[in-house]
Chains A and B, each alone.
Chain A
Amino acid sequence: MTAFKTLSEKPWIWSFLGMIAIWAATAIYTGGKGSADVITAALSFATFTAIVGVGQMFVIATGPGNVDLSIPSTIALSGAVAMKVMDGSNAMLPVGAAASLGCGLAVGVLNYLLIRVLRIPPIIATLSSSFLILSTAIAYGRGLKIKPPPLLAEFTTAQVWGLPVLALFFAVFAFGMSVVLNRTIYGRSVLAIGQNMRAARLAGIKVERTRFLTYALSAVLAATCGFLLAGFSGGASLNMGQEYLLGSIAVVVIGGTSVAGGKANLPGILGASMFMFLLVTMLNTFGASAGVRLVMTGLIIVAVITIAGGEDAQS
């Protein structure tokens, strides 16, 4: 009983419960056929959402008004640049990866400068930078029909015992980020700033350095996602990041991170990413039309946030 109580107080539990419920509903509908395959597919796709979700989580945790809207265009730019640099050659893989990370870092610096030097609110700053980034990707876009190096394609689609290798790597990374969030000075600084920026500064926290690191982290993770996604889907495309705009924000919120800042939750991101993918799969299995699918997705997200966010509204 007490175990149940402690569990029900964990904000991430709801995203996992939702994930299991939806998977069960799909499995019952199909009579259990292919439900293991659904999990494998969900793990693959959810990993990409979760990668950008982690970055978005740190940004949102730094307080109200902080959000990174440049994630989709960073994914597109990073994918395009990496594919062009590598030109399908395994030998160029490290160079491509470095180019991709470089893109991410550059975007992070740009976003931070807009926010800090020009004092533009983050939502506008990252929105406008996303136009600049996407334009760069388009101008650079001759790389779009290039296939990824075979090694990268293999790595991003490889499986062991039905589990995507990428998801396993990500699990280790997520554990590390969870430690960063809760047990490092940087993580504590993020949470302190999210609660009260003025109090954080007066408590000796390096506010500006923390904000810079946070926007840089988000952009670098988006770039990483773009690199891997291009490998996974056989090449980069300009709109491959599109679904990650709302997706990254949704998994953060469903996962139990407070939009008011100062409270973040990493396990919740994992559950929420799975939940989001399974939700769409379930509605597809039920044969719902595109319209119904969108309406249902919206309603279910609202429902989950209401249930999971109830505890937050009281405090």
Chain B
Amino acid sequence: MNADRLEIVTLQGVARRFGAVRALDGVDLSVLRGQCLGLVGHNGAGKSTLMNVLAGTLNADRGVLRIGDAEVQGFSAAVAKANGIRCVFQELSLCPNLTVAENTRIFHAALSGRGWRGRAKALIRAKLDEIFPGHGIDPGDMVGDLSIGKRQIVEIACAFTQTETPLRLVILDEPTSSLDAVTSKQLLEFVRKEVDGGLACILISHVLGEVLDYADEIVVMKDGLIVAQDDAATFTRARLVEAMGNVAKAADKDVEARRVIRGNAPVVVQANAGAALTAHQGEIVGLAGLAGHGQTKLLLDIFEATGSKRLATRVEGPVAFVAGDRQTDGVFHRWSISANVGVRSLRRMVRRGVIDPVAEAVMGDEWQRKINIKTPDMGSNILSLSGGNQQKALFARALASDAQIILMDDPMRGVDFGTKLEVYEIIRQEAARGRTFLWYSTETEELHNCDHIYVFRDGAIVADMSNAELTEEKILSHSFQETA
């Protein structure tokens, strides 16, 4: 690492508000050459807003921004780019109707003239191979056809490609939220290598282990302020959780004796993907494996099969779907938070033939309390929420509905640690009341909340195990090859 503390970017007293929400309340931060800065905090703590300010996509209401030693006026995305600052946003920014190579071209104005297509392909392919060996993406693929995990891979690789301006700072906002264990590790190893070579990097993640293992320095944000900042080595998991403002409650997974449901309750879902999958009433069923190996497809099949008699898939009871790819599958961007929560339960809000707006508001407020959606007003537009809070609204939509079977498509993307624990608890309670959950997750830690786990590879179920038999090694080995 560099001995001379060379600052790439420095922020002083940066503040920004959105209506009544104070997203940033005076933040001082500097990023140094050859430093990986870990940034953690709750949903809505202001992390993404801060990164948007750094990337020039949002202007601060007040505060100073310096690049090197020079104070910059009228900072913008173009200025940031010209100074080698790149950002991989949580809401992916690729154009779905263009190919991977064409998206690379948009990013790099230098890829012009004859044969740009070939050069763009070579550039992005080389970077993909370098960061994510075995990624299985062709530069000619249409981005809209890729799964969210692959889109994220492309977005990350694109941010690390280099043409005319040298790369100095890369901001990664929840880069691993849609990646599985293997690709996450590939990315983090790559980042570590680049940082050791002099690049600066800001890593935002809700997976605390990633930040603890890979960052040099950790910054904790809460309510628009930096509440702790120190060398990564001085932090422990418990200290981080405490700094974020969580009551450090011991992870109580596996503490209670697991109820044995399999065989003791009626089967409510029966599906087939290479091998049979069954879910019993009140059971939490996990779908594991690497990202994009058929888990989402099976969930969609089950969703489609609801109420249909002729398909091989059998579903007993009303179903709700919790989207993980929230912009494509989840939010209604013109509606308020309450309307987004209530849309699955409209039938219950009808009074004298019309929807009662009071019932809708009551449901919204009730779930704001239950699942702690961070907003002053459930009547404001859903996009005023941070990514994790939007996800909570989608959870509320499913949980508030009459659904007895809830399908979850890797729904914890961008949800912070504290909220995850709360949602796990809600899921357990709801399961105890007889609701059934089918839960696709790319985080092995999460699968410990499931009663029974199916592992997917190449679109088929290759193994299944009970909670007691679950280990990370087992899942990984099944994800890669047939065990003899």
Contacts and interface: CB of A to CB of B under 8 A. Distances in A.
B432 interface: no
Interface stretch (B286-294, B328-336, B467-475): B328-336
Nearest to B347: A185
A69 to B, nearest CB: 25
B401 interface: yes
A286 B479 CA distance: 78
A183 interface: yes
Nearest to A258: B334
Interface in B311-358: 319-321, 323, 328-335, 343-344, 346-347, 350, 353-355, 357
A179 interface: yes
A118 interface: no
A185 B354 CA distance: 8
B329 A198 contact: yes
A259 B8 CA distance: 45
B89 interface: no
Contacts of A287: none
Contact of B354 (A184, A191, A192): A184
A204 interface: yes
A77 B187 CA distance: 64
Most chain-B Cβ atoms within 10 A of its Cβ — which of A188, A198, A200, A203?
A: A203
A195 B334 contact: yes
Most chain-A Cβ atoms within 10 A of its Cβ — which of B321, B346, B347, B357?
A: B346
A185 B355 contact: yes
B401 A191 contact: no
Interface string B393-415: 00001000100000000000000
A270 to B, nearest CB: 21
Contacts of B344: 203-204
Contact of B332 (A184, A192, A315): A192
Interface string A192-207: 1001101110111100
B334 A204 contact: no
B303 interface: yes
A211 interface: no
B333 A202 contact: no
Interface string A258-287: 000011000000000000000000000000
Contacts of A183: 354-355, 357
A186 to B, nearest CB: 10
Nearest to A202: B321
B397 A179 contact: no
A188 B330 contact: no
A21 B188 CA distance: 63
Nearest to A187: B355
Interface string B72-96: 0000000000000000000000000
Interface in B136-177: none
Contacts of A179: 354
Nearest to B333: A195
A204 B355 contact: no
B157 to A, nearest CB: 26
Given A183-B355, A188-B355, A262-B334, A199 B328 contact: yes
B349 to A, nearest CB: 9
Contacts of A195: 332-335
A184 B355 contact: yes
A199 B330 contact: yes
Given A188-B343, A191-B334, A192-B343, A199 B355 contact: no
Interface in B83-137: none
A205 B321 CA distance: 12
Contacts of B347: 185
Contacts of B353: 184
Contact of A203 (B328, B343, B350, B355): B343
Contacts of B357: 183
A204 B328 contact: no
Given A188-B343, A263-B334, A202 B303 contact: yes
Nearest to B299: A202
Contacts of A262: 332, 334
A204 B335 contact: no
A185 B346 contact: yes
A198 B328 contact: yes
B334 A202 contact: no
A188 B343 CA distance: 8
A179 B351 CA distance: 13
B329 A199 contact: yes
A188 B332 CA distance: 11
A204 to B, nearest CB: 5
Nearest to A205: B343
Interface string A10-47: 00000000000000000000000000000000000000
A315 B347 CA distance: 29
B39 to A, nearest CB: 29
Given A191-B334, A195-B334, A202 B346 contact: no
Contacts of B303: 202
Contacts of A198: 328-329
Contact of B323 (A202, A205, A263): A202
A202 B346 CA distance: 14
B347 to A, nearest CB: 7
Nearest to B401: A204
Given A188-B343, A188-B346, A195-B335, A202 B354 contact: no
Most chain-A Cβ atoms within 10 A of its Cβ — which of B320, B350, B354, B357?
A: B354
Contacts of B350: 184-185
A203 B334 contact: no
A160 to B, nearest CB: 30
Contacts of A203: 321, 343-344, 397
Given A183-B355, A188-B343, A199 B323 contact: yes
A184 B319 CA distance: 22
Nearest to B321: A202
A309 B357 CA distance: 27
Given A195-B335, A203-B397, 20 more contacts: A183-B355, A185-B347, A185-B350, A188-B355, A191-B332, A192-B343, A195-B333, A196-B332, A196-B333, A198-B329, A199-B323, A199-B330, A199-B332, A202-B321, A202-B329, A204-B319, A204-B321, A205-B343, A262-B332, A263-B334
- 4 residue pairs, one from A and one from B, having the closest CB atoms: A183-B354, A202-B321, A195-B332, A183-B355
30 contacts: A183-B355, A184-B350, A184-B353, A184-B355, A185-B346, A185-B347, A185-B350, A188-B355, A191-B332, A195-B332, A195-B333, A195-B334, A196-B328, A196-B333, A198-B328, A198-B329, A199-B329, A199-B330, A199-B332, A200-B332, A202-B303, A202-B323, A203-B344, A203-B397, A204-B319, A204-B401, A205-B343, A262-B332, A262-B334, A263-B334
